[in-house]
Chain A
Amino acid sequence: MTLLEVVVSSVVLAGSSSAALGVWNQAATEIQRATQLDALALQLEMARIATDRLLQSDRASADLLDSSSPDCRFNPEALEAAVAERLPLGSELSMHWSADPQGLGHWLDLSATSQQSMPPMKRRLLFSPAAFGLCPRDEVG
């Protein structure tokens, strides 16, 4: 065992330990981030399923429809209020309803942001009262 051997071994071990520690740190951060993204995706999916179930349930009624419109359409304010009342959303989740420009229904934009600086996860779905059997039959023709 010479001094040169000890020095070279120490340098090799120190270099590889430092590199491995850096990669471990990066991997740990990545795994934590991925876990957060997974949790956000789950929240988005739960909000989607809950909205769908709400509109399918018996509690969804003609109150959600826009009575002033000749077509069978959702009343966006009533819809938003009903969903907000029955679906408690976490602080990370936001929900926005907007009318479809072609009049097909209303778009639900779901967005989830985490505390870390990551781009928000988004989902976008179209909902129409006709698809839930909410439109009066005499209008169906």
Chain B
Amino acid sequence: MKLQHFGECFSQQRLNYLNRLLVLRARSQAGFVLPFALFASAVLLLGSASLHTLSLQKRLRIHATHQREQVADQLRSSAQAFVVASRGPDACLLRWPSFEWSGGAQACSGSDPSRLSAGVVGEMPWSLLDWKPGDESGQLRLQLADGRTGNFRLAFDLLDPAVLGISEVQLQARAPQLEAE
């Protein structure tokens, strides 16, 4: 009796096991296509989003470079205007650093330091931050009205004060806005 009961239980368990196995297999087959499709879609969309981000980054980089070049052009033009302003009686001032112009101006008849201190070129105001003369060259620092600053080295004849050439501009980080003059 007991043996027969044990045999029935064993058969029942085997059937249950087989049933579970079949259900699991059916479930695994049913869930294969949709997750694969979702995964593939995610990969495609993420890939295209990355490519789009790269293209936008490249465009932004070119835009930033072009803007930087235009600022450099403004500073180069301002340096040219400074040299033009430094001709004539004001050329004498180039012998002294700009912080000494108020005193040195007494030795330069007809000079006006304000003509070398600021100006407008192409509707963009500029101002002189610093001028330091050396033996054969001088260091010029100019600032635009938007706070951008540039350094130049000017080939310079100290004996007969005149500028002979201007170096390439070295851009500096944006400085605070020009103070009210």
Contacts and interface: CB of A to CB of B under 8 A. Distances in A.
Q: Which 3 A-B pairs have the closest CB atoms?
A: A16-B41, A9-B37, A133-B164
Interface string A20-50: 1101101110110110011001001100100
Contacts of B32: 1
Contact of A128 (B29, B47, B84): B84
Given A104-B81, A128-B80, A141-B89, A20 B163 contact: no
B155 A133 contact: yes
12 contacts: A8-B37, A16-B41, A21-B48, A41-B62, A48-B73, A104-B81, A125-B73, A126-B76, A126-B121, A133-B163, A135-B162, A140-B88
B35 to A, nearest CB: 9
A17 to B, nearest CB: 6
Contacts of B122: 107, 124, 126
B62 A34 contact: yes
A127 B65 CA distance: 22
- Main secondary structure on A side of the interface with B: helix
B48 A19 contact: yes
A15 B55 CA distance: 23
Interface on chain B toward A: helix, strand, loop, or mixed SS? Answer: helix
Contacts, number: 148
A12 B44 CA distance: 11
Nearest to B44: A20
B50 to A, nearest CB: 9
A13 interface: yes
Contact of B45 (A20, A27, A48): A20
Contact of B80 (A10, A123, A127): A127
B93 interface: no
Nearest to A129: B84
Contacts of A6: 33
B80 A12 contact: no
Interface in B37-65: 37-38, 40-42, 44-45, 47-49, 51-52, 54-56, 58-59, 62, 65
Interface of A: 1-2, 5-6, 8-10, 12-13, 15-17, 19-21, 23-24, 26-28, 30-31, 33-34, 37-38, 41, 44-45, 48, 56, 72, 100, 102, 104-105, 107, 121, 123-128, 130-133, 135, 137, 139-141
A76 B121 CA distance: 19
A5 B163 contact: no
B33 A121 contact: no
B62 A9 contact: no
A102 B120 CA distance: 9
A56 B166 CA distance: 9
B83 interface: yes
